Amino acid sequence: MIASLGYLMIASFLISVIRKHISVFAGLIGVSVVFGGAAALWTTGSIDPIFGWFRDGLFYTVNDAGKVTLGTINPTIMILFAIMYFSIMMNVGLFDPLCTFLIRRAKGDPLKILMVTVFVTSVVTLDGDGTTTILIITSTFVPLFRRMNMKLSNLAMLIILPTGLGNCLPWGGPLVRAAAVLKVEVNELFIQILPILAVSLVYIFFLAYFMGQKERKRLGYDPKAADQIDREQIEEMVNVILDNDKELKRPRLFLFNLALTVATLVAVLMGWVGGALAFTIATAIALAVNYTAAEQRERITANGGDAIAVTSIIIAAGLFLGVLSGSGMSTAIAETLTHLIPESLGSHVGIIFALVGAIACYALPIDAYYFGILPVIAPIGAKYGLTPHEVGMASFMGQAIRYGSPTVAWLFLLMDRTEMSFADYQKEFFKYSIPMFVIFIVVAIVTGVLPV
């Protein structure tokens, strides 16, 4: 009976989210209350246990051996202040000098322009907001691409591929969702995926170089000739970046903001301090140094919207996961599904999860996958000896092709700005993203974070 309730709970959540009957936040809490209450009544005859399950999912649990397992509050705090921090760094213009320098250096060379596109996109997408990235990068580069008769399809690919990698950062969303479900530290997963992201970024730069060589040949560009674009056009591109939230820029505090950012990232990556604490402190320092008290309140309000949209879902997921675990639903589901996997495939379950995850990442909304599917497959992985970190890595592989999915609404903004139909976009995207998916898998296997 408990397994049946678990299946119904997950199915109800998936259907409500996919059909958009209800928001993800309300859906997670609604099914948790309904099915958690039913499970509590079935097992104890009272609804009292449900509140303990909610508390455990949100805060922490302690097993018989005294081991403490954190709930979703810890990753919620981390993603809240990581988004806030990088939004503030965008406001103050931390990355402006490097971006504008590279744009000026690219001049009229198609190859250099494409390489700079990748770099600037990789920087702008650090705040984890795909819509903002698309608006800034297309506003900067579309006029130049049109002026030089360069292919806008190349621009679309060199925007979306780095943005996909940026989405894999701890504050991007998928990683913190996986960490919340698997009850592991976000920075532990992030350290494991860093080699994957690094190799994938090299791959994207290689694509840009390859595209640039083809554009040079198609346009008849001679690298030895004089600059083929006037200085005014270059300054127009630079001004798109410099004039964005100009009143919020703090160029005189550039060195301080750079040092603060480097120190925060090093502290998190080296494991000296948890990501939640590091970004909370860094956000407070950044606000206090860069803005007045009134401006600080305005920045918190302005930048808090995106953060609250994500963190509210992670908090709601705490209730959902607490019910799945505390009621015994996840264990019961795992036991029933384990029998469906042939014994001969048990040693390859990590790769199987990666392939299933890739399909689910493409076909489902991101919350439906991480909160509807991952809680089911995680216990199955444990049955076959996979650690929570290895299950997390398997679930992460599908992010390589995630941005081909029609469930990502802002992709249609990119298609509109680069004048592509959905069919043309899909054709181009999968041509480059499937090799990146292979890179994800290979690097994960080589580094030992995904068992085979």
pLDDT of 173-214, one tens digit each? 788 888 888 888 888 888 899 999 999 999 999 999 999 999
pTM of the model: 0.71
Q: CB within 8 A of 438, min separation 6: which ones?
A: none
pLDDT exceeds 90 at position 306: no
DSSP per-residue codes, 419-449: T--HHHHHHHHHHHHHHHHHHHHHHHHHTTS
User: For 238-284, how does the pLDDT look when each residue is reduced to its tens digit (9 = 90+)?
Assistant: 777 777 778 899 989 999 999 998 898 888 777 788 778 888 999 99
Q: CB within 8 A of 104, min separation 6: which ones?
A: 234, 238
**Distance from chain centroid for Cα 179:** 12
The mean pLDDT value for 315-324 works out to 83
Q: Rounded distance, CA 282 to CA 263, Å?
A: 9
pLDDT exceeds 80 at position 98: no
Q: Spell out a b/e string for 198-210, using b for 16 or more CB atoms within 10 Å of the CB, else e.
A: ebbbebbbebbee
Q: Rounded distance, CA 415 to CA 156, Å?
A: 7
Q: CB within 8 A of 365, min separation 6: which ones?
A: 17, 18, 24, 407
pLDDT cut 90: percent of the chain above it: 21
User: At 83, which amino acid appears?
Assistant: I
Q: CB within 8 A of 73, min separation 6: which ones?
A: 58, 59, 315, 318
- pLDDT score of 283: 93
User: For 367-384, how does the pLDDT look when each residue is reduced to its tens digit (9 = 90+)?
Assistant: 778 887 888 788 888 878
Confidence class of residue 339 from pLDDT cuts 50, 70 and 90? low
- pLDDT score of 12: 84
